[in-house]
Amino acid sequence: MKITGISPWLVAVPNHDPGILYSQGQPGSEPSRAVPTRQYVFVQVDTDEGITGWGEITTYPGPVANRAVCSVVREVAPLLIGHDASRIEDAWHKVFRTFTYVGTRGFTTAVASGIDIALWDIRGKALGLPIYDLLGGAVRDSIAVYTHFPYARTAEESARNALVPVRDGIKAIKTDPFWEEMGRTGTRYLDGNISAAGEQKGVDIIAAIREAVGPDVEVLIDAHALYNVPTAIRLANRLAPYNITWFEEPVPPESYHALRQVREQVPTRICVGERLHTRFDFVPVLEQRLADFIMPDVTWTGGISELKKISTMAEAYYVPVSPHDASGPINVMAGAHVMMTVPNFYKLETMRSKLSAYDAFITEPLACIDGNLQVPRTPGLGIEMNVEYLRAYAVPEFSGPV
Ligand SMILES: [Mg+2]
């Protein structure tokens, strides 16, 4: 079976969730306001036997990065036309090596991820098996998730919002209590500081949430890689009394030295990995014991192939894997299929406890029962994309073949 086409889909769909905001760190963004549309990037791979596979690359902080990855997908496509669709590892390395001088992480692995996921989808459909069966078979029956809840401006409202997923059966929730100040200008990453008032408000928010949800619900903190070393240390120490499960991305991802300094001076557990790409980026994290949890994103780190490899590496260090996942339905399902086979899986991220935000993209809704995502036994990823919906919201200049 030969690959006959690889096309990006950039879609901008209506945002019905007022809690979905711009990502932080984007100059000019307005993160304190809900955005009218949300963008997603999908990758369609066609074959000469009529089987089509789907991948996803949706990236942050948004429009510029999404358009750029679509352009790279189009540039890479001719390299893989005629390639045997079952030679997934070979296709991965072909993309990876194409960018060996410009840099093999980031854009390279995002594009490799989208194609890799689509090729696994094709392989599963061709063999009539779910992807997890191709990765060694299931070690569990469903996938425990943790979720976000809408940001709020007050501690009281934050606590009320936090109870929504808990009432849906979710056992672990995540938030960024410092978002209001750190997201406002989108440029706070320049100095990594937070004001005393912003810091106190964040602590008050977590105190109120802990009080509301009780001791049994896990509370995870996302620091969004925004802080300098002393600020990250101070924030983690101030939140530690509220029994937080992890303090995520305390500092920007480029400096392992900075991460180590934080690590050595906080009592909280650390999670990193959504901005780390390939097994190579995780070597120092594991070797130098820089994190208690790792959180690769299947659509950025190198796809299903790479997430499985990273997970196995982490298994050898007894480090749990908790995939990052805050975009579309393929991100969720690709991560879930790998985690079905990973002994050291912790929890999979989803944006909301109700998965209805994905419904329009796919022909059958996803099911989450008591905080556990159900992974269909149908072939490939187990979902079918609603192409009519994609077409209705596609940005034409960045969708389809050139
Ligand atoms: Mg994060």
Q: What is the DSSP string of 378-390?
A: SSBTS--B-HHHH
In angstroms, the CA 95 to CA 148 distance is: 34
Judgement on whether residues 89 and 163 belong to the same structural domain of the protein: no
The question of whether 257 is a catalytic residue gets the answer no
**What pLDDT does 46 receive?**
98
Express each pLDDT in 174-214 by its tens digit: 999 998 888 765 566 788 999 999 999 999 999 999 999 99
Residues 63 and 123 in one domain: yes
Residues with CB under 5 A from ligand 1 (ion): 222
Contact 270, 256 (CB under 8 A): no
- The whole-number pLDDT of residue 63 equals 87
The rounded Å distance from CA 176 to ligand 1 centre is 9
Note the pLDDT of residue 82. Answer: 98
47 occurs within a structural domain: yes
Q: Is 270 helix (H, G, I), strand (E, B) or coil?
A: strand
Separation of alpha carbons 77 and 198, rounded Å: 46
With respect to residue 379, please indicate whether it lies within any of the assigned structural domains: no
Residue 121 is predicted with a pLDDT of 98
Tally of structural domains, the chain? 2
How many CB atoms within 10 Å of residue 32? 16
Whether 84 is covered by a domain: the verdict is yes
Q: Do 149 and 111 share a domain, yes or no? A: no
Same domain, 263 and 335: yes
> Which residues span the domain enclosing 190?
133-373
Pair (92, 154) in one structural domain:
no
73 and 117 co-located in one domain: yes
First to last CA, the chain: 23
Residue 380 lies in a domain: no
Same domain membership, residue 40 and residue 158: no
Q: How far is the CA of 125 from the centre of ligand 1 (A)?
A: 32
Reference 349, options 220, 190, 258; nearest CA is 220
Model pLDDT for residues 244-267, shown as the tens digit of each residue: 999 999 999 999 999 999 999 999
50 and 174 housed in the same domain: no
Q: Is 224 a catalytic residue?
A: yes
Between the CA of 293 and the centroid of ligand 1 the distance, in Å, is 12
Q: Would you state the pLDDT for residue 23? A: 42
Cα–Cα distance for residue pair 320/347, rounded to 1 Å: 9
What's the pLDDT score for residue 22? Answer: 47
Chunked in runs of 10, what are the mean pLDDT values of the chain (402 residues)? 98 80 44 72 98 95 89 97 98 98 95 98 98 98 96 93 95 94 70 94 98 98 95 98 98 97 98 98 98 98 98 98 95 98 98 88 94 97 96 94 70
Residue 219 within any structural domain of the chain:
yes
Distance from residue 340's CA to the centre of ligand 1 (Å): 22
Q: Per the structure block, which two tokens stand in for 203?
A: 């602590």
Pair (115, 142) in one structural domain: no
Using the mean position of ligand 1's atoms as its centre, give its distance from the Cα of residue 326 in Å: 9
β-sheet bridge partners, residue 270 = 247
The values of phi and psi at residue 235, to 5°, are -65, -45
85 lies in some domain = yes
Claim to verify: residue 248 and residue 341 sit in the same structural domain: yes
Per-residue confidence (pLDDT) for residue 398, from 0 to 100: 94
249 Cα: distance to centroid of ligand 1 (angstroms): 7
How far is ligand 1, taken at its centre, from the CA of residue 379, in Å?
30
Residue 157's CATH number: 3.20.20.120
User: Rounded to the nearest whole angstrom, what is the distance from the C-alpha of residue 55 to the centroid of ligand 1?
Assistant: 21
We report the CATH number of the domain holding residue 17 as: 3.30.390.10
Residue 184: the pLDDT is: 64
User: In this predicted structure, what is the pLDDT of residue 20?
Assistant: 63
Candidate list 83, 148, 224, 277, residue with the active-site label: 224
CB atoms under 10 Å from CB of 28, counted, come to: 9
Do residues 105 and 165 both lie within one domain?
Answer: no
Active-site pick, 148, 277, 324, 337: 324
| 84 shares a domain with 137 | no
